[in-house]
Structure 1
Amino acid sequence: MQMTEAGLMLHRSASQILRDVELVRQEVMAEGKHLTGDVIIGATPSVIAMAGAELIRACRERLPRVRPRLLEGYSAYLQNWVLTGSIDVALVNGLQPDSPRLVSECLAVERLFAIGPPGMFAGDPVGLASLLEHALLLPSAQNPIRSLLDAGAAGLNLSVSTVLEIDSVTLLKDLVRQGLAPAVLPFGAVKYELETGVLSASPIVTPEIRSDLDLIYLADRPPTRVASEVIDMLLEILRQIVSKKEPNGFVEIRHRASVRRKAKT
């Protein structure tokens, strides 16, 4: 048996209503002494690699009745999951221009890095013009990181040449490791590979390519108290990482209370 299009629409609408009812129930429970409830947070591979495990550990210790669920994905996919109600909030590398019904908060800024096989980059900054002499492995044009790189190249009257467009961080890193071509990613996306020596990286300069890390959510479904607590905990973890002065790629980590909210209508 296969559902009709009308049936699929009804199923999606019913699922959304049930999710909204559950969020209301959790808000009521959160008014008690202990925060209780579930929260589904989407995040980019860079954020998950840098802070995902520590966030889960911190939640278990400090918010034992809260059950966070983390979903990893590229920004365009995360944005779509927020729009469909599949996840509560997401941390993305900037919004796509066609983003109706969404509110965004710029919570952090991170630098983009040139990524290569062992020995290709020694950690010293690499000029964008020099990097663009190579054909690159990059995500597709809908990815904000790709848009930032294209804009940086245009500012130098240059263009970006690609070997392949790949919307999988795991596959992209594996192909870089094999020597197919260099790539461009945030530092966190290759943190483990840099620590183990299977990849090399250098920050991009002249110009420096920076990406906003935005919290996004539906305008009519702002973060619950539970979600807000978990988001604040995540930002605290990122600030701790930056304070250690170890390589991390972050330029700035902001406090939500001081961030201006932008709505797309």
Structure 2
Amino acid sequence: MEFRQFRYFVAVVEAGSLLKASARLHVAQPALGQQIMALERELGTQLFDRSSRGMALTESGRLFLAHAQIVLADAERARLAVRESVDLPRGDVALGLPTTVALVATLPILQACRERLPHVRLKLVEAYSGFLREWLLSGRLDIAFLYGDMSEPGLAKQLLLDDRLMFVTRADGTRLPRRLSLQALARWPLVLPGVEHGLRRQIDAACAPLGLQLNVVAEIESLGSVKRAAEVGIGSTILPLGSVAEEVAAGSLRAVRIDDPGMLRRMVCATNIGRPQTLAATAVLTLVREVVRDMTISGAWPARWRGTAETAPDRP
């Protein structure tokens, strides 16, 4: 199997036809078609369904695509690593952020990267923590913010901060105590993310030992929509203070501390120990840690900075 076959295969997938891919690659269409058929013969399976409308991936093709993209990404990392050894950090870096983190940290990280690493093109990916972990291990991400500092095979984790979940409700004049117990939340109608969301899983895990059933009146996957639902009084919610800091400052939402240890989340910055980091990825890793540290110290991110401790990874 030749490296160019991986490149040709991905190009055909992206273009949707041999004709368009040949123009993009500057390779004659018959030669390109022969390379794709040779790849299929070597793999012993058909990668494309061919028709007059173009070429569509088969199930085997979709499986091979995921691996081909990783091979090409690793080759690009290797090329950049050699180039960067005598140059400034440059190239693409993919950083994964949980949605609650993206709400508070996206713009500060982007601004710092543009100012301090002008030759680095940062790709920010916002998703559930479970997806971020999977994509980091598969090589689709270079760095990811994750919750939980327990050691995991294949991951190196650097401790960042402790983030506290808060009871968040509309600013309607109702008197609220400075702190609420977890049991007291059962009296409030709540709007929360679905049960697959990491935030919801933590809330449910904290409630389980108490046999507590919260009154969830709606499940909304978009945290922006969760906040808007709380603002108009559809239901209150539970979110980190940093993700609603603007609304609290503007007076449209109020946040009250939940007096329960299960409402504390530990955040780490994770990398894949099985994939060498480019100079650009290493520079971004240093930068995002500094940005988060400065935000917590200044109060822009209402969380507790935990310093520079690193959780040792499990190695095979």
| Counterpart-to-counterpart distance in 2, 1:11 and 1:208 | 41
More helix by share: 2
Secondary structure at the counterpart of residue 187 of structure 2: coil
In the alignment, the residues of structure 2 paired with residue 55 and residue 239 of structure 1 have an alpha-carbon distance, to the nearest angstrom, of: 12
Change (3 A) 1:217 1:142: farther
Q: 1:260 & 1:205 partners in 2: Cα distance?
A: 28
Q: Which amino acid aligns with 2:95?
A: I
Cα distance 1:40–1:8, how it changes in 2: closer, same or farther (>3 A)? same
Partner residue, 2:167: 114
Select which of 218, 230, 234 maps to 2:288.
234
Amino acid at match of 2:110: I
Aligned to 2:244: 190
Query: How far apart, in 1, do the equivalents of 2:165 and 2:276 lie?
Result: 29
Structure 2 unaligned residues grouped into runs of 5+: 1-54
Amino acid at match of 1:130: A
Q: Report the 3-state secondary structure (helix = DSSP H, G, I; strand = E; otherwise coil) of the residue aligned with 1:68.
A: strand
Distance 1:103 1:241, change over 3 A: closer
TM-score of the aligned structures, taking structure 1 as reference length: 0.85
SS in 1 for 2:239: strand
Taking the aligned partners of 2:276 and 2:156, their CA distance within structure 1 comes to 8
Offset of 1:40 from its aligned partner?
0.8
CA separation of 1:230 and 1:45: change in aligned 2, threshold 3 A: same
* Cα distance, 1:169 vs structure 2: 0.9
User: What's the % identity of the aligned pairs?
Assistant: 29
Per-residue CA shift, 1:160-187, capped at 9, x if unaligned? 3322222221221222222111111112
Cα deviation, 1:211-238, whole Å, max 9, x if unaligned, reads 1213234342254332222122122122
Q: In the alignment, residue 134 of structure 2 is paired with which amino acid? A: N
Distance 1:165 1:94 in 2: 24
Match of 2:260 in 1: 206
Aligned to 2:205: 151
Name the counterpart of 1:66: 120
- Give the direction of change, closer, same or farther, for the CA distance of 1:174–1:61 in structure 2 (3 Å limit): same
Aligned to 1:220: 274
How big is each residue's C-alpha offset from its partner over 1:22-47, in whole Å with a ceiling of 9 and x where there is no partner? Answer: 11122222222411221010112333
Taking CA–CA contacts closer than 8 Å with sequence separation of 6 or more, which of the two structures ends up with the larger relative contact order? 1
Structure 2 residue 229 is the aligned partner of structure 1 residue 178: no
- Residue 165 of structure 2 contacts residue 264 of structure 2 at CA under 8 Å; is this kept in 1? yes
The structure that has the greater radius of gyration is 2
Give SS of 2:269's match. strand
Counterpart check, 1:254 vs 2:307 = yes
Q: Which runs of 5+ in 1 are unaligned?
A: none
- Residues 65-93 of structure 1: per-residue CA shift (max 9 Å, x gap): 11112122232332333344332221123
Q: Equivalent residue of 1:64, what SS?
A: coil
Q: TM-score, normalised by structure 2?
A: 0.72
Q: How many residues are matched?
A: 261
Kept after mapping to 2: 8 A contact 1:35/1:226: yes
- Aligned pairs for 1:85-124 within 5 A: 85-94=139-148, 101-119=154-172, 124=178
**1:47 aligned to 2:98?**
no
Q: Which amino acid aligns with 1:46?
A: T
Give the secondary structure class of the aligned counterpart of 1:71.
Answer: strand
The one-letter code of the counterpart of 2:166 is F
Q: Residue 188 of structure 2 aligns to a residue in which SS?
A: coil
